[in-house]
């Protein structure tokens, strides 16, 4: 798309970070998190104030509110030190870019399902990959504000996964949005992770990667949207007591992956499930817990196409999640936490023995991304992005909320041969809409 950069600068905290906070040592959970960035793109509906002066005022207001919030989320305005395990919080600022897209209506782009495939990645402030080295300038957070001819706005953000997870990212965005619309509610992150999971010098120089999952070759991506009726149907087939929509959809998609894996000559498959530890600690950590607070649990199965395999997969997923309990979290805390981390990891990766075909799954449902309101109303679509030019990929699923209702939007990236099997699964075609316009998911703007 034709675009025009309007400005680029670093937004610094509105007041300087105190001297005793200038060096932020990341926690052990940060040190053992995957490298890369977390991208989120928010698409907001058209606004009547759409001339140059209005856009300038909007931009200045966004910069001002961001600078206020950065006094509380001060590591985001810092720069990674050379060891990549600490941040220099000398208020270098957040990278903030503004673009205009003359002649383009965002609503027209979102109504065209073909254009939505690459649109999110085109709105990001830097070219990125899910798996990559740190930014050459050692920045932590990136923001790009995108203005369209129709008056719509898209805000794209990237946050380094070495510092924060999705919960922290959404908390930051909600706090920024609330301040921008004039809310008096103060949101202050809790930096207790540095006490509970202290930094480990033994991990210096080490970097966690997706090497066990990454593949090279041609891949394809689809968005499958399951509405509440389809999810109710899947829930009824799980055999679980009070199944969640995430359990129902995850088990079904694993079943589809199993068919693709079997078709491609693999005898077993395994799912790696990203888990948020905050609610599983005893007592639970608050949602304001800053930083990474997650692990990956696993479940595996022999590939087969028996009629009741879906129930078996649903049970395996629930059992895998249940292993992440208070004792599991407690083993990783304190000075001996690294030993506990390795013990936990050994107990979880056992499911990946024997060369099982691997599928990575992460649920972003229930994080409240559609509650991010900068004062212009809630977004019509929130999504993530992928680097479509990369030949490196992992077979993966990201589950997200739909803008209305209680549906699930599944973003699935698979090798081309695997996706060809997905495209032929009749039950999947019956239950889900494939690559629909985001404005067709119950949107009043369609």
Domain boundaries, the chain: 4-203, 215-440
The pLDDT tens digits along the chain (446 residues) read: 788 999 999 999 999 999 999 999 999 999 998 878 899 999 999 987 777 788 999 999 999 999 999 999 999 999 999 877 899 999 999 999 999 999 899 999 999 877 788 899 899 987 655 455 567 788 999 999 999 999 999 999 999 999 999 999 999 999 999 999 998 888 899 999 999 999 999 887 666 655 567 788 899 999 999 999 999 999 999 999 999 999 999 999 999 999 999 999 999 999 999 999 999 999 999 999 999 999 999 999 999 988 889 999 999 999 999 999 999 999 999 999 999 999 998 877 766 666 789 999 999 999 999 999 999 999 999 999 887 777 778 899 999 999 987 899 999 999 999 999 999 999 999 999 999 999 865 454 54
Find out whether 164 and 170 touch, Cβ atoms under 8 Å.
no
Output the CA–CA distances (angstroms, integers) from residue 230 to 57, 222, 226, 397, in the order listed. Answer: 44, 18, 6, 18
Query: For residue 444, what pLDDT is reported?
Result: 46
Phi and psi angles of residue 192, each rounded to the nearest 5 degrees, phi first: -70, -15
- The structure tokens listed for 433 are 């809409």
Find out whether 210 and 131 touch, Cβ atoms under 8 Å.
yes
Find out whether 134 and 87 touch, Cβ atoms under 8 Å.
no
To the query of whether residue 373 is one of the catalytic residues in this protein, the response is yes
Q: Strand order of the sheet with strand 86-88?
A: 23-25, 86-88, 79-80
Query: For residue 442, what pLDDT is reported?
Result: 47
- End-to-end Cα, the chain, rounded Å: 22
What is the distance between the alpha carbons of residues 328 and 324, in angstroms, rounded to a whole number? 6
Question: What burial class does residue 319 get, using C-beta atoms within 10 Å of its C-beta: 0-12 exposed, 13-18 middle, 19+ buried?
Answer: exposed
What is the distance between the alpha carbons of residues 272 and 213, in angstroms, rounded to a whole number? 10
Find out whether 161 and 36 touch, Cβ atoms under 8 Å.
yes
Q: What is the pTM of this model?
A: 0.94
Q: How many CA atoms lie within 13 A of 69 on its CB side?
A: 27
Return the sign of the alpha-carbon dihedral for residues 71, 137, 163, 183: positive
Phi and psi angles of residue 344, each rounded to the nearest 5 degrees, phi first: -60, -45
- The structure tokens listed for 410 are 């599944």
CATH number for region 215-440: 3.30.559.10
What's the DSSP call for residue 243?
A: -
130: Cβ–Cβ under 8 A, 6 or more apart, which residues? 36, 37, 210, 386, 387, 394
Phi and psi angles of residue 351, each rounded to the nearest 5 degrees, phi first: -65, -15
Output the CA–CA distances (angstroms, integers) from residue 386 to 66, 122, 130, 220, 282, in the order listed. Answer: 26, 10, 7, 11, 36
Phi and psi angles of residue 360, each rounded to the nearest 5 degrees, phi first: -100, 130
What is the distance between the alpha carbons of residues 126 and 95, in angstroms, rounded to a whole number? 10
Of 37, 85, 104, 161, catalytic: 161
The Cα angle at residue 216 between residues 211 and 217, in degrees rounded to 5: 160
- Nearest by Cα to 376 from 67, 151, 60, 122: 151
Beta strands in 27-93 (DSSP E): 37-44, 79-80, 86-88
Of 88, 118, 288, 373, catalytic: 373
The Cα angle at residue 266 between residues 262 and 270, in degrees rounded to 5: 90
In CATH terms, 4-203 corresponds, of 3.30.559.10, 3.90.660.20, 3.40.50.2300, 1.10.599.10, to 3.30.559.10
Question: What burial class does residue 390 get, using C-beta atoms within 10 Å of its C-beta: 0-12 exposed, 13-18 middle, 19+ buried?
Answer: middle
To the query of whether residue 199 is one of the catalytic residues in this protein, the response is no
What is the distance between the alpha carbons of residues 33 and 189, in angstroms, rounded to a whole number? 19
Prior bond of 283 cis (ω within 30°): yes
What number of other Cβ atoms are within 10 A of residue 193's Cβ? 22
Relative to beta strand 215-216, strand 219-226 is unpaired
What is the distance between the alpha carbons of residues 72 and 175, in angstroms, rounded to a whole number? 10
């Amino acid at each position: 798309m034709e675009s025009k950069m309007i400005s680029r600068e670093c937004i610094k905290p509105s007041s300087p970070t105190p001297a005793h906070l200038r060096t932020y040592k990341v926690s052990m959970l940060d040190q053992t998190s995957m490298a890369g960035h977390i991208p989120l793109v928010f698409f907001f509906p058209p606004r009547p104030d759409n001339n140059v002066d209005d856009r300038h005022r909007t931009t200045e207001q966004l910069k001002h509110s961001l600078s206020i919030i950065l006094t509380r989320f001060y590591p985001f305005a810092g720069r990674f030190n050379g060891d990549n395990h600490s941040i220099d919080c000398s208020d270098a600022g957040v990278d903030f870019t503004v673009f205009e897209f003359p002649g383009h209506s965002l609503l027209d782009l979102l109504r065209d399902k073909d254009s939505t495939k690459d649109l999110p990645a085109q709105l990001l402030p830097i070219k990125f990959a899910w798996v990559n080295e740190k930014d050459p300038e050692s920045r932590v957070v990136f923001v790009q504000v995108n203005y369209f001819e129709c008056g719509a706005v898209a805000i794209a953000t990237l946050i380094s996964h070495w510092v924060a997870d999705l919960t922290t990212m959404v908390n930051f965005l909600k706090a920024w949005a609330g301040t921008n619309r004039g809310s008096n509610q103060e949101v202050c992150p809790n930096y207790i992770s540095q006490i509970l999971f202290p930094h480990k010098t033994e991990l210096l120089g080490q970097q966690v990667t997706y090497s066990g999952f990454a593949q090279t070759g041609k891949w394809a991506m689809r968005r499958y949207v399951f509405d509440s009726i389809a999810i109710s149907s899947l829930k009824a087939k799980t055999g679980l007591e009070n199944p969640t929509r995430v359990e129902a959809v995850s088990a079904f998609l694993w079943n589809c992956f199993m068919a693709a894996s079997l078709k491609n000559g693999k005898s077993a498959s395994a799912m790696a499930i990203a888990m948020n530890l905050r609610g599983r600690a005893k007592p639970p950590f608050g949602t304001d817990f800053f930083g990474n607070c997650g692990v990956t649990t696993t479940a595996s199965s022999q590939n087969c196409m028996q009629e009741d395999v879906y129930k078996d997969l649903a049970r395996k997923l629930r059992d895998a999640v249940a292993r992440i309990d208070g004792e599991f979290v407690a083993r990783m805390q304190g000075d001996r936490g690294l030993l506990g981390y390795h013990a936990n990891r050994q107990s979880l990766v056992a499911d990946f023995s024997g060369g099982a075909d691997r599928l990575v799954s992460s649920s972003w449902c229930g994080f409240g991304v559609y509650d991010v309101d900068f004062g212009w109303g809630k977004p019509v679509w929130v999504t993530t992005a992928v680097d479509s030019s990369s030949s490196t990929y992992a077979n993966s699923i990201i589950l997200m909320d739909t803008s209305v209702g209680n549906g699930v939007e599944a973003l699935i990236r698979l090798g081309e041969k695997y996706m060809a099997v997905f495209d032929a699964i009749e039950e999947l075609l019956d239950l889900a809409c494939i690559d629909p316009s985001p404005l067709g998911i119950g949107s009043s703007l369609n």
